[in-house]
Chain A
């Protein structure tokens, strides 16, 4: 009887111990705070003006990039003493995002920054805000009509492909490769942004007389990147260059390359994660370059919203108003300039 009890006690202890260890294992606080905004030099725009309230709505983070968007917006707002920042709960439910933006309209915020989950579906509520006299800064995913936003600021997917194509084309031409074998690992294929990126890449390569030898789509996930790349490496025993659309799936792509012991080519990444930039900096992997699609645009959007709400223009431009449309250039980050871009990289 006592023996049984003791055994139960032991078993119970083991279960508790396991639970304790497992619970301890969920801790995920990084040791240092990383990623975020940079302090760019500003004209007299930084001087405090009229106090304004800026509402912010974005989708729920399903990968590092979207997570960085919300973080960057909040960090930027904190830098201004004249801004109160009002973010609403991040959601991937269109109706929820509409109703949360409606709440911000009812609160009569001075300006709105919106990254819509779906630009089409959120056009009407953004228009409502504009009609109510609240200027909307539309972030990245564009609304259906210019009536729905005061200013649009976003990245350039075609330009991203173009930057990657330019880098690949130039580097191969400089190396004197006549008929290079170029592979492309795309993101989710039925997204417009993936098609834009691929078109930019193709057209930039065409200038050098090059074509993509093999193109396969992954799912923007690490696992799919690994799977697609391991097969591509079998399909092409020799490659000269690889462009991978997304640095997050790039972790998997790089794992596949290491596992296949291949290194005869160079690789270009996409989006610009901090991890990819660190690899470029050490210059020990095949990753030599990444083309950015910067989530810092959220920080810029907040500062634009502030200026618009305060009725000010951008101090370095002659106009008294903030421009209505801003496409951010996709930067080509290599070993030579990586130090400048590293603080802008997002933790995937």
Chain B
């Protein structure tokens, strides 16, 4: 069957685009309420923090620390939000961060970087991330394979490739300008946090103010309607995985700066952290509805919990239980929200 046969009439095109738009604003309103809920959770966590740590929680250093700790998963989560709103899922994000970090810190790459500048490493990480994302995207969109399986395969393969390139060793970053990203500060805030903010800002604009963003909602909400409306669904789906891979590449540069290393152990379980953040942020796992702000709030909630537990010197097990309970609560809330509106 060829796509050229059914050229949608102009008015239908407009109608579908409009419904997609309506769905987006509904989603937006619903998520705004939920986003408010997450802000509430953050406030509660903050109060608990202030009470249990004698105010140390609110010190400037600690707040910056929370933002810095959120920044890497945060960037991955931006890409994940796009993929999930578009009706897919990307399990390979953690492994892609590891692969890109290893690829960009091999002795060969660092030699080039010392000779020609740190951009070689940046380019390498981003190209590996986006390239792997493209591979995912082509298999999902044009190979018509289930995203869960494709990205699961990529998760295993990319981690394996990272291990074989690095020989499972930790590769130290010797290019100072890369490490400076985490150690240098502007107005007391590490440059990493600015990178995080920039990625979120660009992501928000693309998702909410461009055709690409509207199409993402349309494809995730109803792929068939989107196709009839003249959207190249396959191309768009493939591009969503490129966006996710691109974010992984950026995150890889950030993790190289923060840990001063590239390693096949980087990005461990990022896929779970990112998906969990997207879900508690109010994005539907089935796609078509969601917000980026919610996802980022979700990341902040998780990082703040970790921070609170360490500040109070509590063991990690309890931390994981708390995180799990929050995911349950968020999904229950989401279900109630859906039955209420629909």
Contact = CB atoms under 8 A, between A and B. Distances in A.
Contact of B65 (A215, A221, A234): A234
A215 B313 contact: yes
Interface string A248-264: 10011011001110000
Report, as a range, how many residues of chain B touch the other chain. Answer: 35 or more
Contacts of A226: 258-259
Interface stretch (B17-25, B85-93, B168-176, B277-285): B168-176
A271 to B, nearest CB: 12
Nearest to A231: B310
B331 interface: no
B316 A22 contact: no
Interface residues of A, number: 48
Contacts of A230: 65, 68-69
B170 A64 contact: yes
A61 B264 CA distance: 12
A255 B267 CA distance: 17
Residues of A contacting B: mostly: helix
A347 interface: yes
Interface in B157-199: 165-172, 179, 182-183, 190
B190 A25 contact: no
A235 to B, nearest CB: 4
Interface in A1-53: 18, 21-22, 24-31
Contacts of B316: 189, 216-217
Given A223-B265, A231-B307, A234-B56, A22 B183 contact: no
A139 interface: no
Nearest to B266: A223
A251 B131 CA distance: 29
A22 B315 contact: no
A214 B313 contact: yes
B232 interface: no
Contacts of A228: 310
Interface of B: 53, 56, 59, 61-62, 65, 68-69, 103-104, 106-109, 112, 123-124, 127-128, 131, 165-172, 179, 182-183, 190, 255, 258-261, 263, 265-268, 306-307, 310-313, 315-317
- Counting from the closest, the 6 A-B pairs by CB-CB distance are A27-B108, A231-B310, A221-B265, A25-B109, A234-B62, A235-B311
Given A224-B268, A231-B307, A251-B261, 16 more contacts: A21-B124, A22-B103, A25-B106, A27-B107, A28-B166, A29-B107, A215-B313, A219-B268, A226-B258, A227-B69, A235-B312, A237-B59, A237-B61, A252-B261, A255-B259, A258-B183
